[in-house]
Amino acid sequence: MITMTSRWTEKQRSWLTLLGLWAWLLVLASTRPLALPDEGRYAEVGRWMLMSGDWLAPRLNGMPFFHKPPLLHWLQASSFAVWGVHPWSARLVPAFHAGLMLLALYLATRSTQGEKVARHAVMILGSSLGFLIGGQYINHDMLVACWISIAIWAFAGALLQSGLPNVRLALLGFAACALGLLSKGLIGLVLPGMVLLAWLIWTGQTRRLVHLPWVRGLLIFGVIGLPWFIEGQKHYPELFNYLIIGQHFSRYTGGTFNNQWSWWFYPMAIALLLFPWSLLLIGTAAPRKWLQIWRNERTASHNHWNSLLWIWLLVITIFFSFPKSKIVGYIFPVLPPVACLVAMTWHKWHEAGRVKSWWFTGLLLTSLGLSAGVNWAAGRHSLKHSSQDIARVLQCNMTPSERVYVMGDYPYDLPFYAQLTQALVVLEDWDEARRSSGDNWRRELFEASDFDREAAKNLQPISALAQPADKTWLVTPSNVDALSLHAAWSMTFKGVAWTLWQFKPSTAKSPPAAQDERLPGCHD
């Protein structure tokens, strides 16, 4: 009876730890403004989907935006419908997936390594920068990382059991691959497949593949993952060429995209995302010891778990190290196995008397403090580029029928904060932009306009600045020279990063919009 009570208490501690770390993630998610450009872009795509009712085509500034599949936008639109349009409700979607990733790590590790190691793994991942900052960042990376990790855990769990594979776990793996496909495209399927195939080859288990429930699994995968691609291709014939060829293969093999780094980028990113816990992993990776571990694990079936974790880490890191363009969020799928490896290392060192229990508490507090500090600094940095102050002025001084022009740059967060009901009119030399733009906001917009000629009217030449409609608003970066504007443009408000102008043909001052005519969210 004492043993049963003790075990239950250990489980309670694990669940409270998991829930506490996730709750802390939600608190951090509520304390900073949208980061630019990603969070402004993707939050607005979700808001527009809810406002427009078009659940087929994600839209940026009213134009089809097919950089990624739509799962993030579907879930964000649903979150906005329930919780309202706020940065926090937008962040609920990646935060939910971060929590799901943490839960999967706990369940998978507990099934093979026991309760204490599983709880330590949860504390390591859940206190890290990768979880507490990446887990609330609005983009597709945490979603696909979550489903990749669940797919690997599920398939590996099915195959680790003696005898025939566990059918339920295998079917969960197929469903996770489909959701990964809807999260960010082919890597949701390719990366679990590569990791599992490499692991089965290394451990000599490839014959077990034939026993997986392929027919039922592929049916589940097809029902979940393919309908949007089929329907989207039907309505937008260039979808496959743009999304799969352009945004997948060209981005992987091309050398013209942003964020180009050398091979060391992802090892450094892993070390920083899990610092200071990553110091323990580095301590276990001495070349002689590492080679000895791998040589022994290949022939010892009871050590297949260790092989899975190392192969998972190496395969995905190597895969993303080949392209020249590298982004930190791409490496999120390796955080669960690294956290598990660190927890197992700590457990072995603690049992051998090499480390003291209070050291773990010190590392935990250091990691939590570091994440809180980075979150605060990120919020301060975002405010320097935000158009939130401009949005507040617009909300209380314009009516939904009025249009907002932008020139000189694109304020990704402005439509979201102001809750504009019409797309921005973006003024630019678009012919020159098509000839010379690299991987930037101009390319995003004119490529989106190619899918919808009617919505392409949102992109106008700079000459439109001279003859806008009456009571039109203009937003420019703060460094734009007023002398370059038409004389009828009058400065209304100068914010931290942006300036707001209003077109007034006469010198008469326009009265502010009546309360019932203002945009949603206005508060006097």
Q: How confident is the model at residue 2 (pLDDT cuts 50, 70, 90)?
A: very low
Q: Which amino acid is located at 53 in the chain? A: G
Cis bond leading into 276, ω under 30°?
A: yes
What are the contacts of 162-167 at 24+ separation with CB within 8 A?
A: 164/211, 165/208, 165/211, 165/212, 165/213, 167/213, 167/216
Quick check: 515 pLDDT over 60?
Answer: no
| Confidence at residue 5, expressed as pLDDT on a 0 to 100 scale | 45
Quick check: 117 pLDDT over 60?
Answer: yes
Quick check: 232 pLDDT over 80?
Answer: yes
pLDDT in tens, 444-456: 999 999 999 898 8
pLDDT in tens, 398-428: 888 899 999 999 999 999 999 999 999 999 9
pLDDT in tens, 138-170: 999 999 999 999 999 999 999 988 888 999 999
Give the integer Cα–Cα distance in Å for 349 and 345. 6
Threshold 0.85, pTM exceeds: yes
Tell me, what DSSP letter sits at residue 136?
G
* Mean pLDDT on 359-382: 95
HSE value, Cβ hemisphere, 13 Å, CA-based, for 292: 6
Contacts of 86 (CB under 8 A, 6+ apart): none
CA distances from 159 to 166, 208, 211, 440, 442 (A): 7, 7, 9, 44, 48
Quick check: 514 pLDDT over 60?
Answer: no
For helices 141-160 and 167-184, angle between their N-to-C axes, nearest 10 degrees? 160
* Mean pLDDT on 437-441: 87
| Confidence at residue 239, expressed as pLDDT on a 0 to 100 scale | 93
Taking residue 93's Cβ as centre, other Cβ atoms within 10 Å add up to 26
Compare 81 and 504 and report the one with higher pLDDT: 81
Give the integer Cα–Cα distance in Å for 251 and 324. 9
**Nearest-CA neighbor of 391 among 492, 470, 511, 516?**
492
| Confidence at residue 262, expressed as pLDDT on a 0 to 100 scale | 81
Contacts of 402 (CB under 8 A, 6+ apart): 471, 472, 473
pLDDT in tens, 3-49: 444 556 888 999 999 999 999 999 999 999 999 999 999 999 999 99
Compare 524 and 347 and report the one with higher pLDDT: 347
Helices (H) and strands (E) in the chain, counts: 23, 8
Please compute Rg for the chain using Cα positions.
26
| Confidence at residue 523, expressed as pLDDT on a 0 to 100 scale | 59
HSE value, Cβ hemisphere, 13 Å, CA-based, for 31: 16
Taking residue 367's Cβ as centre, other Cβ atoms within 10 Å add up to 23
